[in-house]
Amino acid sequence: MLYMGDPSGAPTPWGPASLRGTDMQQVTATRADDKSRGVQTVDVAAYMRVSTTEQRGKYGIPVQAQAIRAFVEQQDAWCLVQSWEDIGESGSTHFRPGLEALLADISLGGVKHVLVHRLDRLGRTEAAIWRCIWQIEDVGAQVECCTEPLGEPGVERWLTVDRLAQSVEADYRRIVARTQSGRQLKAVNGGWPGGPAPYGYRIRGKGTFGSTLEVDPAEAGVVKLLADLVIDGGRTLVGIAKELNSRGILTRSGKPWTGTNLHRRLRGATFLGEAVFRRTDRQWGGHRTRLGSDGRPLHGESVVIPLPPILPAHRIRSFQEALAALTRPRKNPIGEYLLSGLIHGHCGRPYIGCFRSKDGLRTYRCSGWNADVSCGCVFLPADLVEEEVASHLNALLASIPPNSRPMMPLFSLAHTQLIQHLERVRSLERLAARCAEELDTLRVKTQQDRVIAAAMRQLESEQKAFDRILAYARDWLSELHNLSSKDARTTAVLEAAAPDIRSLSSSEQRRLFESVKVRVDIVDPTFRYREGTRCWTTRWHQRKGTSVPADPTDSQWSRIEELLRCRYPAHHFRSPLDLRAAFLGMLHRLRSGILWRDLPECFGDPEKVRCRQRTWLADGVWAEIVTLLNEEGEGTPVLSDEAGPALAISTGLDVEVLR
């Protein structure tokens, strides 16, 4: 796994502030004492984890902190220097901010041991525990456990951790099986299996076996109001949220409504009339069902729990139809806006990606444009900014010799981890091989006595343990392989003679932007887009990708005139307008992007020139002329009236490179 600390800057390993101060002081208080005594100390970091359910029970962070503090006091010269915790993170998830920050911190050097209260704080499964231990070892520290000594590195330590990890996983499976079968039993009996009640309901007999749902009168009123607002139509989700807020209605947790939390509510069980316990159609989110490797639900079949009605059936049907129309899927996923948060307008707020549905344009908008008093920052066409940033970075990278280009630590980390882990897998294989060898020696002994039989049993169980550990080690190895080869591809792109970062995947580009600290500023705060309707000829050039031809030579002009004379009757040429001058004016305007009213006099009356251009475009004559001219020379791109303001792009690289 890669770690890079908290992307927002300072690592925040701490949970709620209330826990932070006290425990931090309690835990690290020993340091000052040791320092004052002048003892040579070994730096130790504590890692604590508490899941949401444990948090509610007695087994919280304070218990772990207390145990760790007591343990450290018993050790000579140990000194707690840091303490990291993950709150509400489950033992099986891969992403734990506290752990990530801890790893980043250890890799800076200093910390030699990571102390946990019990081994299950690292993870609830064998795979998770091993992975965690290896990650900590790979950055240079060793895991120690308050309740069980793990021993010095070597065979004993492998076997001890294997035994403890197995029992942690067995415990975990027992707990899961017990709570899951209890919930299943409740659900099939029409009770509420646990978890928060759907909006509009409350739990009667909470905590007891027979708990069921009943209508919550206050919330039911909001449900009816929501159904009216959605079915009546004419409002967006944000509009409905604003309506609720303006009526002084808050969410269940007392927060104002937003488009997002409202959408979650509207998709909930309340507006379907029934709740499904163990959904098989979802693999994430509340009430989902975990499927086993055979594709069957792991803990029991789905159970439909009918809800006491708040809305009549026909209202539920119309509601669902109206909701579907209201929440059409996003045309462009947000993840495709690579520069979200990296662009800044003059008001100082970050720009975020925004899809303009009226013309299908991807844009970046200042996050302040939607505020009560709009900040007035201009939007930016996304393609344009992304292109500009990419070419800026490409040029910047190309200006640095390939071997001294800043290869982000990010990109080499997986490779280092891979090499270290490969070494570990090899030493495990050696241990397993030696074990097998010794077994073979014992097996061929002719004299089989009790001592030999006991030794063989011992070796066989060790062999099994090594096989188990090796399986986890190889799983992780292949993951590291994948990461590392991905990184190798990225590195190849970045090291190319002419780097083209647009050939990286979106997520890789985003990572690059973040690691080189790309920042885009809008230089001119007074820039405004041109108003009025967009010129059709400009649009035609944009759509076709046709460039604006160079001014025609005399011979080219005579061919154009010939073409015009075949197409138009004589009165077309009787106007006081000099057609050749007018044509040069049209080209000039397309190239320079000026307004018609600013067209220099030498080209003729702007209104007449514009009128002629429109006629030619509508009759297809413009296309013919442009094709004719472009056959014989290079044109210039049309200057779009959507062209944005001047941008200043800066990166963390500039300083080092240009110095």
State the residues that interact with Zn ion by CB under 5 A. 345, 347, 349, 366, 368, 375, 377
95 burial via Cβ count (<10 Å: 0-12, 13-18, 19+): exposed
The residue among 374 and 485 lying less far from Zn ion, judged by its C-beta, is 374
The residue among 165 and 343 lying less far from Zn ion, judged by its C-beta, is 343
In whole angstroms, the minimum distance from the beta carbon of 521 to Zn ion comes to 12
What is the greatest pairwise CA distance in the chain? 123
CA proximity to 122, closest of 141, 109, 110: 141
In whole angstroms, the minimum distance from the beta carbon of 202 to Zn ion comes to 43
Neighbours of 205 (CB within 10 A): 12
State how far the Cα of 305 lies from the Cα of 194, in Å rounded to an integer: 12
In whole angstroms, the minimum distance from the beta carbon of 255 to Zn ion comes to 25
The residue among 345 and 381 lying less far from Zn ion, judged by its C-beta, is 345
The residue among 288 and 349 lying less far from Zn ion, judged by its C-beta, is 349
**Alpha-carbon distances of 469 from 53, 139, 622, rounded to whole Å:** 29, 20, 74
In whole angstroms, the minimum distance from the beta carbon of 518 to Zn ion comes to 19
In whole angstroms, the minimum distance from the beta carbon of 366 to Zn ion comes to 3
The residue among 298 and 375 lying less far from Zn ion, judged by its C-beta, is 375
In whole angstroms, the minimum distance from the beta carbon of 347 to Zn ion comes to 3
Coil, strand or helix: which one is 519? strand
Residue pair 569/602 in contact (Cβ under 8 Å)? The answer is no
The residue among 454 and 523 lying less far from Zn ion, judged by its C-beta, is 523
CA 570, 575, 579 angle in degrees (round to 5)? 90
Evaluated on CA atoms 581, 586, 590, 595, the torsion sign reads positive
Residue 84 pairs in a beta bridge with 47
Show Cβ contacts of residue 555 under 8 Å, excluding neighbours closer than 6 positions.
none
> Which tokens sit at 83?
């303490």
In whole angstroms, the minimum distance from the beta carbon of 375 to Zn ion comes to 3
State how far the Cα of 181 lies from the Cα of 117, in Å rounded to an integer: 30
In whole angstroms, the minimum distance from the beta carbon of 365 to Zn ion comes to 9
**Rounded to the nearest 10 degrees, what angle do helices 409-444 and 155-188 cross at?**
100
The residue among 367 and 515 lying less far from Zn ion, judged by its C-beta, is 367
Show Cβ contacts of residue 622 under 8 Å, excluding neighbours closer than 6 positions.
537, 540, 613, 616
The residue among 352 and 469 lying less far from Zn ion, judged by its C-beta, is 352
The residue among 200 and 368 lying less far from Zn ion, judged by its C-beta, is 368
Residue 7 pairs in a beta bridge with none
Residue pair 47/104 in contact (Cβ under 8 Å)? The answer is no
In whole angstroms, the minimum distance from the beta carbon of 377 to Zn ion comes to 3
> Which tokens sit at 395?
């040029």
